[in-house]
Chains A and B, each alone.
Chain A
Amino acid sequence: MFDYEVLRLIWWALLGVLLVAFAITDGFDMGVAAMLPAVARTDGQRRQVINTVGPVWEGNQVWFVLGGGAIFAAWPALYAVSFSGFYLAMFLILSALIIRPVAFKFRSKRDDASWRARWDGALCFSGVVPPLIFGVAVGNVLQGVPFHFDSDLRPFYTGSFFALLNPFALLCGLVSLSMLVLHGATWLQIKADGEPAARARGFGMVAAVVVLVLFAVGGLWVSQIDGYRVVSDLDPLGPSNPLRKEVVTEAGFWLHNYGRYPLLLLVPALGFLGAAMALAGLAWRRGALSFIGSKLSVAAIITTVGASMFPMILPSSSQPGHSLTVWDGSSSEYTLAVMLFATAVLLPLVLLYTAWVYKVLWGRVTEDDVNEDMY
């Protein structure tokens, strides 16, 4: 039905869809968790805030697991190189994601202030660390990551954990964190009330300004750093072997796609627009407007990264020729087709019952509710 080139393009787009879906759904509950100690002061308020995400965070987190599975199945070389290369960073993320489910579940199980305070701290950690590290990782990917393959395609990573923490990557980490804090804040505008919602509004407005400023700074910075350009022929229908091409670095090349297809500029523009909408919504106390705005901004900022780098997926700074691209980093044509079929059948079902769950749980959670409900 589709040829290999189209399948690869679809799976590149689906990778983006999964990341965006993860950031939009799990993003608000991470943002909420990150702000928890600050926006909710009493135990009743904390339970109120936690209960706004309590029934849904678990399903949201599946987007992350699914993203991992989809990268494994559709982009196995990317899965192998990135997760083993960012080893200790991945460990930090995994620790946060191990602590999160149990913190949600165990917090309410004892009526003891210090027990609950510890789990609140754990929730805050698990809300701050993953967005920060994901952002730092993206910042490193944009600059290129030191890896190469041997002739058996065994990947070798030659960087270190601390080298990941460079200024540009930290900037990306901050963009990522503040965009999810904003997202969490707008969520609380529609799902909570009282003091927590009011405090979240303040944090959200600050976060929106930070997103607007840092995203702009990031754009200017990207125009200075080296992008990666494929200079040899790269057959979109060829076998996935990343050793058969030539790549050079070129300052500002990440803006190249926007020159070729000016319409793409809409993507980063929507990133700014979304954050501005969220800011306006918070200022005018329009919860729905702010939530839609923060969703838009999260989606557009992530898509901007993909659009700037296409067809590059994971550039190598030490052996640019070994970089992974859409055309030589995918699974086989057969596997991509099978997986696409499975996704086409199953994803609509997932969206259907997820929507049903949100509908059942529709409405604000007030502080009075939590006294008879869980968490």
Chain B
Amino acid sequence: MIDATLVELSRLQFALTAMYHFLFVPLTLGLSFMLAIMESVYVMTGRTVWRDMTKFWGLLFGINFAMGVATGIVMEFQFGTNWAFYSHYVGDVFGAPLAIEGLMAFFLEATLVGLFFFGWDKLSKVQHLAVTWLVALGSNLSALWILIANGWMQNPVGAVFNPDTMRMEIQNFAEVIFNPVAQAKFVHTVAAGYVTGAVFVLAISAFYLLRHRHEALARRSLAVASSFGLAAALSVVVLGDESGYTITDNQKMKLAMIEGMWHTEEAPAPFAVFGVPDREAQTTHYEVKIPWVMGLIATRSFDTEIPGILELLALSEVHIRDGLLAYEALQTLKVEPANADARETFLQHQDYMGYALMLKRYVEDPRDASDQQIASAARDMMPNVAALFWSFRFMVALGFYFILLFGATFYLCSVHRRPPRWLLRVAFWSLPLPWIAAELGWLVAEYGRQPWVIEGVLPTFLGVSSLQVSDLLITIAGFMLLYTVLAVIEVRLMVKYIRRGPDAEGDSGEFSGLSPAFEDNPAWRGQ
């Protein structure tokens, strides 16, 4: 039987490294596009302030990008080091988008990002602009392929288990690519990245305006951030709704959890704005509900029912018993690959084999499971309701807050020459919020999928490598040490460069092209 401590530590390490990596990804996604927009304005108008903006925000982008690359490498190899059974079980499917990501996206951004920094004097304006756009394109394509891989974990389409090789294999790659869950996740995630980039630029520009420093650069940056951010914030909410719509088919449990909905509600189901989900009592206390809203979001109809947690649990038990038939047939096929009867039985029941594997937490051989163990395994399909319930609500609230924030700055920027000081203060203090929203989104998606690593196919606990607990303790300690040191250095560097601002001539040289006193540049003074 698999060591439960090993499983917990493997999950902890993955969560730590993935959530840490995801601190840098959204900013790269958003900022790369904003750099491309700023530089486009520079190339079109020829005004050097826009080039200086591109260089200044590009410097901060570079610090963040290096951290994203460094922590991303770990992700590429961690499936193999810590999730060896998972890697073998689904590598045929899951590995392909990861490899294509490297080939199509990561290569593009990593090869060209060097030219972004070093190429200002070596390339023509248009060539350099093309490089900047290609870096932005590369980082966004990267997100596309990663989310195709992740979308497949949530909704494993286009693949089937092969009893001869004991693993999942691709049947139809187009289905894997055009997986509706993957597509919805992609647009939602990159839009969240754009919001992050926009809030970052907005908050720092607000800081300069409050201090009356670098006003020309800050005002223009604020304008770019608020318009880009408003569009992004609107899309992130609308496209997040699209994600909510797509999970209804394949991840009913996640939806019921998010909703804290224990019993199937009559359609259209209400949306609980507030409540205290209680796992023991299997009810949600102090619920405040808005009628119809959930039914409309999740099914876009008035008459489709959304199943409750308890109904889904009852169904799980049926699935487990069905899956056991497939499991039994597979054991026969292991010794007699040519047994036609067993193959037939397997094909009939293979959709639910993953449910039988859930029993491996309780018995070595699922065929020996008692009724009580089957009931326990079914109960395991229910993750932590309260965590999901609240993560989701905070994330959505933040999503609406960003629309308000960008809407207000956008409006006040267009009507007045500069937004009022209170709004600048609010904008500055909003700096950490997009990261919180992004991490909560990750939590809803990944934690909400538990106990599955591949929904309905492979339980998380089975996916681990056969390592010792001591191995995990060493690497968790190592990663934490390394990541903490790097986080401290990164934040201090960011603060240092933000404080110093764009016009100081520094030792970094990265700004060597900046005119030290560009605030006095007559080309745009008084605009």
Cβ contact within 8 Å between B95 and A73: yes
Residue on A with the closest CB to B471? A87
Closest Cβ of chain A: how far from B94's Cβ, in Å? 8
Chain B residues with CB under 8 Å of A56's CB are 111, 114
Asked if A319 CB lies within 8 Å of chain B CBs, one says no
Known: A64-B73, A109-B496. 10 other contacts (CB 8 A): A66-B102, A84-B81, A101-B66, A102-B490, A105-B65, A153-B165, A155-B465, A331-B169, A339-B99, A371-B509
Q: Which of B65-98 contact A (CB under 8 A)?
A: 65-67, 69-74, 76-77, 79-82, 84-85, 87-88, 91-96, 98
Chain B window 422-463, contacts with chain A (Cβ cutoff 8 Å), 1 for yes, 0 for no: 000000000000000000000000000000000000000000
Cβ contact within 8 Å between A361 and B122: yes
Cβ contact within 8 Å between A97 and B70: yes
Q: In whole angstroms, how far apart are the Cα atoms of A101 and B512 in the complex?
A: 22
Closest Cβ of chain A: how far from B398's Cβ, in Å? 29
Chain B window 145-169, contacts with chain A (Cβ cutoff 8 Å), 1 for yes, 0 for no: 0000000000000000010111101
Cβ contact within 8 Å between A353 and B111: yes
Q: What are 29 A-B pairs at a CB distance below 8 A?
A: A55-B114, A61-B69, A61-B110, A68-B80, A72-B79, A72-B80, A73-B91, A82-B80, A83-B77, A84-B465, A88-B475, A94-B77, A101-B70, A102-B490, A106-B493, A108-B508, A154-B85, A331-B91, A331-B95, A335-B95, A339-B99, A346-B104, A347-B103, A350-B103, A350-B107, A353-B111, A360-B123, A373-B512, A375-B509
Chain A residues with CB under 8 Å of B88's CB are 76-77, 79-80, 153-155
Asked if A219 CB lies within 8 Å of chain B CBs, one says no
- Asked if A357 meets B112 with Cβ closer than 8 Å, knowing A72-B87, A241-B166, A346-B103, the reply is yes
Q: Per a CB cutoff under 8 Å, which of A76, A100, A335, A357 touches B70?
A: A100
Asked if A54 CB lies within 8 Å of chain B CBs, one says yes
Cβ contact within 8 Å between B110 and A62: yes
Chain A residues with CB under 8 Å of B98's CB are 69, 72-73
Cβ contact within 8 Å between A58 and B113: yes
Chain A residues with CB under 8 Å of B113's CB are 58
Chain A residues with CB under 8 Å of B123's CB are 360
Closest Cβ of chain B: how far from A234's Cβ, in Å? 15
Q: In whole angstroms, how far apart are the Cα atoms of A76 and B467 in the complex?
A: 18
Main secondary structure of the interface of B (DSSP, over half): helix
- Asked if A74 meets B95 with Cβ closer than 8 Å, knowing A88-B474, A101-B66, A342-B100, the reply is yes
- Asked if A83 meets B164 with Cβ closer than 8 Å, knowing A73-B95, A155-B466, the reply is no
In this complex, the interface size class of chain B, counting residues with CB under 8 Å from chain A, is: 35 or more
Chain A residues with CB under 8 Å of B401's CB are none
Cβ contact within 8 Å between B95 and A373: no
Chain A residues with CB under 8 Å of B467's CB are 84, 87
Chain B residues with CB under 8 Å of A252's CB are none
Q: Which of B86-139 contact A (CB under 8 A)?
A: 87-88, 91-96, 98-104, 106-108, 110-115, 117-119, 122-123
- The 7 A-B pairs at the shortest CB distance, nearest first, are namely A76-B91, A83-B80, A73-B95, A59-B111, A72-B95, A55-B114, A69-B99
Chain A residues with CB under 8 Å of B493's CB are 106, 109-110
Closest Cβ of chain B: how far from A337's Cβ, in Å? 9
Asked if A343 CB lies within 8 Å of chain B CBs, one says yes
On A, residues with C-beta under 8 Å from B are 54-56, 58-59, 61-62, 64-66, 68-74, 76-77, 79-84, 87-88, 90-91, 94-95, 97-102, 104-106, 108-111, 151-157, 239-241, 331-332, 334-335, 338-339, 342-343, 346-347, 350, 353-354, 357, 360-361, 370-375
Q: In whole angstroms, how far apart are the Cα atoms of A32 and B451 in the complex?
A: 47
Q: In whole angstroms, how far apart are the Cα atoms of A331 and B173 in the complex?
A: 14
Closest Cβ of chain A: how far from B350's Cβ, in Å? 15
Asked if B170 CB lies within 8 Å of chain A CBs, one says yes
Residue on A with the closest CB to B100? A342
Chain B residues with CB under 8 Å of A72's CB are 79-80, 87, 91, 94-95, 98-99
Cβ contact within 8 Å between A152 and B111: no
Q: In whole angstroms, how far apart are the Cα atoms of A19 and B478 in the complex?
A: 27
Closest Cβ of chain A: how far from B57's Cβ, in Å? 16
Cβ contact within 8 Å between A102 and B92: no
Asked if B339 CB lies within 8 Å of chain A CBs, one says no
Q: In whole angstroms, how far apart are the Cα atoms of A62 and B110 in the complex?
A: 7
Q: In whole angstroms, how far apart are the Cα atoms of A75 and B70 in the complex?
A: 24
Asked if B62 CB lies within 8 Å of chain A CBs, one says yes
Cβ contact within 8 Å between A83 and B81: yes
Cβ contact within 8 Å between A153 and B103: no
Q: In whole angstroms, how far apart are the Cα atoms of A94 and B169 in the complex?
A: 29
Residue on B with the closest CB to A160? B468
Asked if B265 CB lies within 8 Å of chain A CBs, one says no
Asked if B507 CB lies within 8 Å of chain A CBs, one says yes
Chain B residues with CB under 8 Å of A66's CB are 99, 102-103, 106-107
Chain A residues with CB under 8 Å of B318's CB are none
Cβ contact within 8 Å between B92 and A335: yes
Closest Cβ of chain B: how far from A158's Cβ, in Å? 9
Cβ contact within 8 Å between A65 and B169: no
Closest Cβ of chain B: how far from A66's Cβ, in Å? 4
Q: In whole angstroms, how far apart are the Cα atoms of A338 and B467 in the complex?
A: 33
- Asked if A55 meets B95 with Cβ closer than 8 Å, knowing A91-B475, A100-B70, the reply is no
Q: In whole angstroms, how far apart are the Cα atoms of A151 and B72 in the complex?
A: 33
Q: In whole angstroms, how far apart are the Cα atoms of A68 and B73 in the complex?
A: 9
Chain B residues with CB under 8 Å of A331's CB are 91-92, 95, 169
Q: In whole angstroms, how far apart are the Cα atoms of A61 and B467 in the complex?
A: 28
Asked if B250 CB lies within 8 Å of chain A CBs, one says no
Asked if B340 CB lies within 8 Å of chain A CBs, one says no
